Structure 1
Amino acid sequence: MAVFGMTSVVGIESSAAAVNAIAGQIGAVHEAVNAVASAILPPTQDSASALATVRQITNVNDFSAMLRLGLAEQMAVADTVRGAAATMAASDGVNAALATSIPS
């Protein structure tokens, strides 16, 4: 028989913390890579090179903004799951207490 759903609040907490830690590491690496990517610019000897420079900067900034947004959304999902796990655990505790209080 397969187990579905939450099996451990502690497991959910540690998973959410791991997701946030990994997101933080990805964010730190991204900032370093973004600084390098932003520094790589074609020579601006003519108008085509100037346009290429603008496109390069725009592409780097657009990618960076999307990655930061994705990381923020990922961390928000982890926090939502963490909150839902705590709520479910509290609800399970109340339900267990109510079930044991029913006279036989």
Structure 2
Amino acid sequence: MSPTVDELRNEIRQAVGRYERIESTAFTKEALAAICEAVGHDVDSNRLPPKPEMRAGILRCIGETEDDDPAVAERPFRKAELTAIAAALDSE
């Protein structure tokens, strides 16, 4: 059986040194910044960019999109994107 979206989010959180969450929630800005760092997308840690910008950068860095246009990442990650992120973090 494949992991649920919540299980994938928690796997990613733990891979980047964040805490597992019991309730189902999307990533916080801080968690997205940690994922950005882990996949090699630079963000200014003094003033975190908007979530869509960080999500788009993550997707570009793992090869899911061609560019880091925030318009393609206005919504939280889909299950396939979470799977790709988890796989990218496992390979590092």
- Relative to the length of structure 1, the TM-score reads 0.21
> Which one has more relative contact order, counting CA pairs under 8 Å at least 6 apart?
1
TM-score (norm 2): 0.22
| The structure with more radius of gyration | 1
